[in-house]
A and B are shown apart, each in its own frame.
Chain A
Amino acid sequence: MADLKLKGITIVETFAEAFPMVGTRIIITAPTYEWAEISARTMTGFATSVIGCGAEAGIEGRLARKETPDGRPGVAVLLFTMDAGKLQTQLRNRVGQCVLTSPGSACFSGLEGEKKLKLGASLRFFGDGWQVSKVLGGKRYWRIPVMDGEFLCEDKVGLTKKAVGGGNLLVLGKSHGAVLAACTRAVKAMAEVPGVITPFPGGIVRSGSKVGSKYKGQIASTNDAYCPSLKGAVKSDLPLNIEAVLEIVIDGLTADAISQAMNAGIHAIARGGSREGVTHITAGNYGGNLGPHHFHLKEIVG
């Protein structure tokens, strides 16, 4: 197998296997960037994986005053689930509990889509009859009275069924420090790519999983083939000198956005070269039979 090398780091000839998801984008504005981000972080907290959190969510990026509908500092948030019904529930609960409650916040649609989700259309009932509907340029907004004035919220937000979840990179290295530093760089580079989020803590996951378990009822369990401490005991995918493996999972509004993010990530990791201690960049898949989206590392780096 002729593996590609980038600054001495082996790019394994494999692919990331990803799945279709439904996704949406909302814009949160506030009196300052700090408060828009607090609101967005709260809303996207506990949203690393659909398996246990019901949704995958993250901050896509900051928006300047001139990019937001009300001219205040803003943050764009992406939210993904496996179907539109769950996305609606997650959106209502998360915006209702974390954005509506956040001081000075307002919430707008960030995506035009063929199908719509209710945003203010369901949160307006918090207004107990005092809510005010305003239509501007064909879009409806709700003004909901709250204790610091009014919560302004757009009625509907678009959704896309072309979203993709589970794009990933696995980074192998000779020390935990080296792998963590490289992955941190990669997440930062990916954050510049529009239309993607990395939902795990700081964008990085250390507990990659395999499907199934020896225990009944446990649907996912540790990916033993990539656990350095089990190299001698299981059919390991790791060379003996590997001390740590970290994974970056990427969700995107389009498959193209994921390709771009993976490209940015791989190059950011490779910037340190093999001297930093990273040895391999690979990706997770299930043999290619489960997910329709295959992101081949060689083509992405290409």
Chain B
Amino acid sequence: MTALTFELKHTPDQRLDLSPLVPAKLAGLNRKEIEALEIGTTRQKLTVGAAFKLKGKDANALHFVGTDDRCDKIGAGLSGGEIHVEGDAGAYLGAGMKSGKITVRGSAGVLAGASMAGGHIAVSRNVGDQACGVAVGDTTGMKGGFVTIGGHAGALLGERMRRGLVVVGGKAGDYAGGRMIAGTLLLRRGAGRYAGYGNRRGSLIFMEKPRDILPTFSDCGVMEFDYLRLLEQWLRGQGMSVRLGARARRLMGDMAVLGKGEMLILA
């Protein structure tokens, strides 16, 4: 069976809420019923059929083609199955998802992976602010899962994150790992200012020395961490070749809060 494909017909004149288009909600629906689903966000009624051209049948593997940054909530609350986005994604990509996999060939907007609990999101290009942060109405950020960002991440990456792993290929914005409770950020090209602000138990792993380090992070010196070897091996198992080695400088903080978090700066 070929993947159920949603091809955007033309740029919509309102933001779209695509959260109904996840495998669990589409299971058992026929083409007509899917086309009748409402995805508008204004008083102007908008259905799937009006915005998208549908192809394919397999509702467990969804494709979005030609989407742009107004296509919000793609894969939000996903609980299994796969979604592939050939284009950009709007806000709330995979927010609150529990399992499954989302791949985006373009960029994603704000709050990608916000408060997600499990599964895997892979964005080829950039993500907006508050990626893996706190979804509106929630109390904590990402609670589990794995997110890879090929490009840059906006401000407040992993805000109040509690568990999970985020790998950023480019630069992260200001306040990366801000108020982080736990979890891991692997930043390949550094971050903006105030990284780890209010970090309690989280780990920020820097492959390049960050320009600014908050004064509330205490230097513990350089040593070997077998954890970095384990992480490198695990990432290799996920098809991601990252050379971490084992030696890193450890800074503990944020001492202004609990202070059991860390920055590991590869040495």
Complex: A135 Cα to B231 Cα, angstroms: 10
Beta-carbon contact of A69 and B233 below 8 Å: yes
| A interface, size bucket | 10 to 19
Main secondary structure of the interface of B (DSSP, over half): mixed
Taking CB atoms, residues of chain B closer than 8 Å to A135 are: 144, 163-164
Candidates A71, A133, A150; contact of B225 at CB < 8 Å = A150
Contacting B229 at CB < 8 Å: which of A72, A134, A137?
A72
Could you tell me which residues of chain B, from 200 to 237, have a CB within 8 Å of some CB in chain A? 201, 203, 223-227, 229-234, 237
Q: Is the CB of B229 within 8 A of A136?
A: no
Across the interface, which residues of A come within 8 angstroms of B19, CB to CB?
none
**Residue B184 at the chain A interface, CB threshold 8 Å:** yes
Give chain A nearest CB distance to B180 CB in angstroms: 13
CA distance A135 to B201 in the complex (A): 13
Q: Does A70 contact B (CB under 8 A)?
A: yes
Question: For the complex, what is the distance from the CA of A141 to the CA of B203, rounded to whole Å?
Answer: 14
CB distance from A119 to the nearest CB of B (A): 15
Interface contact B232-A134, CB-CB below 8 Å: no
A149 within 8 A of B: yes
Q: Does A143 contact B (CB under 8 A)?
A: yes
For A134, list chain B residues within 8 Å (CB): 184, 203, 227
Is there an interface contact between B182 and A149, defined as CB atoms closer than 8 Å? no
List the B side residues contacting A143 at CB < 8 Å.
Answer: 225, 227
Q: Report the separation of the CA atoms of residues A106 and B144 in the bound assembly, to the nearest whole angstrom.
A: 24
Is B165 interfacial (CB-CB < 8 Å)?
Answer: yes
- B182 pairs with A137, CB closer than 8 A: no
Q: How many residues of B contact A (CB 8 A)?
A: 24
A108: min CB distance to chain B, Å: 9
- In the complex, are the beta carbons of A133 and B182 less than 8 A apart? yes
Query: How does the 8 Å CB contact mask read for A87-106 relative to B, with 1 for contact and 0 for none?
Result: 00000000000000000001
Is there contact, CB below 8 Å, between A149 and B144?
A: no
Query: Among the listed B165, B182, B226, which residue makes an inter-chain contact with A70, where contact means beta carbons less than 8 Å apart?
Result: B226
Given contacts A134-B203, A136-B165, contact A70 B224 (CB under 8 A): no
Contact B229 A71 (CB under 8 A): yes
Contact A149–B231 (Cβ < 8 Å): no
**A106 and B163 contacting across the interface, CB-CB below 8 Å:** no
Residues of A within 8 A of B238 (CB): 137
Contact A141 B223 (CB under 8 A): no
Asked if B233 contacts A71 (CB within 8 A), the reply is yes
Q: Which residue, of B164, B184, B223, B233, has the highest number of chain A Cβ atoms within 10 A? A: B233
Chain B nearest CB from A28 CB (Å) reads 12
A152–B223 CA distance with the chains assembled, in angstroms:
14
Task: Tell me whether B234 and A150 are in contact (CB under 8 A).
Answer: no
Contact flag A152-B163 (CB < 8 Å), given A134-B203, A136-B234: no
Residues of chain B with a CB closer than 8 A to A53's CB: none
- Give bound CA distance, A141 to B163, whole Å: 13
Contact flags B229-267 to A (C-beta < 8 A → 1, else 0): 111111001100000000000000000000010100000
Q: Does A132 contact B (CB under 8 A)?
A: yes
- CA distance in complex: A152, B230 (Å): 9
Instruction: Report how far A132 CA is from B229 CA in the complex, Å.
Output: 16
Q: Tell me which residues across on chain A come within 8 A of B231, comparing CB atoms.
A: 136
Closest B-chain residue to A30, C-beta based?
A: B226
B237 to chain A minimum Cβ distance, whole angstroms, is 8
Nearest A residue (CB) for B183: A135
> How long is the Cα–Cα vector from A70 to B201 in the complex, in angstroms?
23
Q: Which of A70, A72, A130, A141 has the most chain B CB atoms inside 10 A of its CB?
A: A70
Contact assessment for A150 and B226 in the assembled complex, using a CB-CB cutoff below 8 Å: yes
Report the separation of the CA atoms of residues A140 and B193 in the bound assembly, to the nearest whole angstrom: 31
- Per-position contact with B for A112-156: 1 when CB-CB < 8 Å, else 0? 000000000000000000101111110001010000011010000
Enumerate chain A interface residues (CB-CB to B < 8 A): 29, 69-72, 106, 130, 132-137, 141, 143, 149-150, 152
17 A-B Cβ contacts within 8 A? A69-B230, A69-B233, A69-B234, A70-B233, A71-B233, A106-B226, A106-B230, A132-B201, A132-B260, A134-B184, A134-B203, A134-B227, A135-B144, A149-B224, A149-B225, A150-B225, A150-B227
Across the A-B interface, give the 3 residue pairs with the lowest CB-CB distance, nearest first: A70-B229, A152-B226, A70-B230
Residues of B within 8 A of A (CB): 144, 146, 163-165, 182, 184, 201, 203, 223-227, 229-234, 237-238, 260, 262
